[in-house]
């Protein structure tokens, strides 16, 4: 990443205010001595929904206990992102809901999705699903969660194919929209949102969502390493009162973060995302109480010059290694049709996120896969990469990892 990106961001900080409910002490219990455990210190309005969500919110993608949810609630977290295909996430969250007090103070988002992760490669309801399928997906989520409504349901993971028109049709599927209205009238959902981490057409699809008038907020990938077109999406969303929740803010969560003091990189990355006034909050996967200690000190804090130096250092270490989520610039270069961006995203899940099973399950559904790269000497994929990544070498390494094949080249 070029250094001027940070300089421009720093300049924006000097002229732009960020709408927050600073501290929100009455709601969250924030405040107190520095010796207290880190907690959410700021809440932001989520578009026109009327919800105020913690600037740092709970991603439940690998949730394995209800106790962790209760700890997060005690630390002021009030927005929880889950899905039917996140293992037992909805069940654990439901158990926590039964133990917690005040359902109306929690904001729960789930997905139009099936429980089995990557069933036939597609767990999220696809184009061709009927209104009844969407309604059934929400009803099943409500049963697992043990609640009578979701605050939000997502049309999730737009941009996983190269066919823009098909992705747009899934985004604005009349069957989905009809189901959403039925569910809203029944009091089973309050809001509709959509998300994309690419690798195809992320910005264009999120703009379609914002301009359609159907979506209350969006959740794009957004971090300090790329996304030159996302600011246009953010500006349009802000102008129309559509909320934005950021994800993938750690730019791959590379091991380079270990080169800094504990939490220094993560907190700098969070503060960078939250320094954009259009961002309502960010979602980060929480796996332990230690994650709460690591991440929450960034809540309500300004982005500093020291933070920018940390991010510059990280970018220098991994700028030529990190496959930017949502980029997809190389996808038309491979004569064999290998989905470079998706494969390297699954490799990221395996190596950097510790989500080995999910990564291998997803990769097993891919045709063609990176095995086709073993004997390829073309190099077109690397030439097409605007960031200079050794794409073919990375694909061969991904194939070796994701198939557990020690002899794959």
- Report the alpha-carbon distance of residue 213 to residue 259 in Å, rounded: 44
Q: How confident is the model at residue 303 (pLDDT cuts 50, 70, 90)?
A: very high
Look at residue 2 in the predicted model and tell me its pLDDT: 41
Instruction: Lowest mean pLDDT of 80-84, 97-101, 129-133, 139-143, name the range.
Output: 97-101
The larger pLDDT score, comparing residue 356 to residue 79, is at 79
Q: What is the pLDDT of residue 116?
A: 64
For residue range 322-375, what is the model confidence (pLDDT) as tens digits?
777 667 778 778 888 888 878 887 887 787 666 787 788 888 888 888 888 888
Measure the CA–CA gap between 26 and 199, rounded to whole angstroms: 41
Interval 10-39 mean pLDDT: 45
Highest mean pLDDT among 180-184, 221-225, 324-328: 180-184
At residue 142, the pLDDT reads: 98
Confidence (pLDDT) at 7: 34
Average pLDDT, the chain: 85
pLDDT score recorded for residue 256:
53
CATH code of 3-314, in short, is 3.20.20.100
Candidates 363, 334, 332; CA nearest to 347 is 363
Task: Check whether 108 has a pLDDT greater than 90.
Answer: yes
Residue 57, pLDDT score: 98
Q: Output the pLDDT for position 330.
A: 80
Structure tokens at 393: 């070498």
DSSP E strands, 266-383: 281-285
In the chain, where the domains are located: 3-314, 340-403
Convert the pLDDT of each residue in 248-272 to its tens digit.
Answer: 999 876 655 567 888 999 999 999 9
Which residues, other chains included, contact 368 with Cβ-Cβ below 8 Å and sequence gap of 6+?
Answer: 336, 337, 338
Q: Which of 16-30, 228-242, 326-340, 393-407 is predicted least confidently?
A: 16-30
Chain Cα centroid distance, residue 354: 16
> In angstroms, rounded to a whole number, what is the distance separating the alpha carbons of residues 121 and 342?
12
pLDDT given at position 350: 81
pLDDT exceeds cutoff 90 at 12: no
Q: How many CB atoms lie within 10 A of CB 132?
A: 11
pLDDT at 15 exceeding the cut of 90:
no
Out of 2-11, 196-205, 384-393, least confident range: 2-11
Q: Residue 56 forms beta bridges with which residues? A: 282
Whole-number pLDDT of residue 297: 98
Determine the Cα–Cα distance for residues 165 and 208; give it in Å rounded to an integer. Answer: 11
| pLDDT category of residue 98 using cuts at 50, 70 and 90 | very high
Residue-wise pLDDT for 269-293, tens only, equals 999 999 999 999 999 999 999 999 9
Angle between helices 391-403 and 356-364 (to 10 degrees): 100
Confidence of residue 11 (pLDDT cuts 50, 70, 90): very low
Phi/psi region, residue 326 (left: phi>0; alpha: psi -120 to 50; beta: rest), is: left
Q: pLDDT class for 20, splitting at 50, 70, 90?
A: very low
For the chain, percent of residues with pLDDT exceeding 90: 55
User: Residue 26: pLDDT above 90?
Assistant: no
pLDDT at 365: 82
């Amino acid at each position: 990443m070029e250094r001027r990106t940070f300089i421009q961001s720093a300049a924006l900080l000097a002229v732009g205010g960020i709408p927050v409910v600073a501290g929100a002490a009455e709601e969250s219990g924030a405040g107190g001595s520095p010796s207290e455990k880190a907690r959410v210190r700021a809440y932001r309005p989520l578009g026109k929904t009327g919800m105020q969500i913690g600037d740092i919110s709970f991603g439940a993608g690998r949730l394995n206990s209800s106790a962790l949810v209760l700890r997060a609630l005690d630390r002021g977290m009030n927005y929880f992102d889950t899905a039917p295909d996140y293992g037992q996430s909805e069940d654990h969250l439901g158990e926590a809901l039964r133990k917690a007090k005040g359902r109306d103070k929690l904001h729960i988002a789930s997905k139009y999705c099936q429980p089995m992760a990557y069933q036939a490669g597609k767990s999220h309801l696809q184009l061709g699903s009927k209104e009844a399928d969407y309604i059934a997906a929400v009803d099943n989520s409500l049963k697992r969660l043990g609640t009578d409504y979701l605050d939000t349901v997502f049309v999730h993971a737009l941009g996983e194919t190269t066919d823009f028109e098909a992705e747009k049709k899934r985004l604005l599927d009349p069957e989905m929209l009809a189901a959403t209205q039925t569910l809203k009238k029944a009091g089973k959902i309050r809001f509709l949102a959509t998300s994309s981490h690419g690798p195809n057409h992320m910005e264009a699809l999120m703009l379609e969502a914002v301009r359609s008038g159907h979506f209350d907020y969006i959740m794009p990938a957004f971090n300090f390493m790329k996304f030159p077109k996302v600011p246009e999406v953010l500006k349009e969303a802000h102008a129309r009162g559509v909320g934005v929740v950021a994800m993938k803010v750690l730019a791959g969560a590379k091991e380079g973060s270990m080169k800094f003091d504990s939490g220094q990189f993560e907190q700098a990355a969070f503060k960078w995302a939250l320094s954009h006034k259009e961002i309502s909050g960010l979602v980060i996967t929480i796996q332990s109480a230690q994650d709460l200690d690591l991440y929450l000190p960034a809540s309500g804090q300004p982005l500093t010059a020291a933070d920018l130096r940390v991010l510059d250092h990280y970018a220098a270490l991994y700028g030529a290694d990190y496959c930017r989520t949502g980029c997809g610039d190389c996808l038309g270069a491979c004569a064999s049709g290998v989905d470079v961006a998706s494969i390297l995203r699954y490799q990221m899940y395996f190596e950097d996120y510790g989500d080995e099973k999910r990564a291998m399950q997803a990769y097993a559904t891919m045709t063609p896969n990176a095995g086709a790269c073993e004997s390829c000497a073309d190099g077109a994929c690397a030439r097409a990469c605007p960031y200079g990544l050794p794409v073919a070498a990375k694909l061969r390494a991904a194939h070796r990892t994701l198939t557990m094949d020690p002899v794959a080249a």
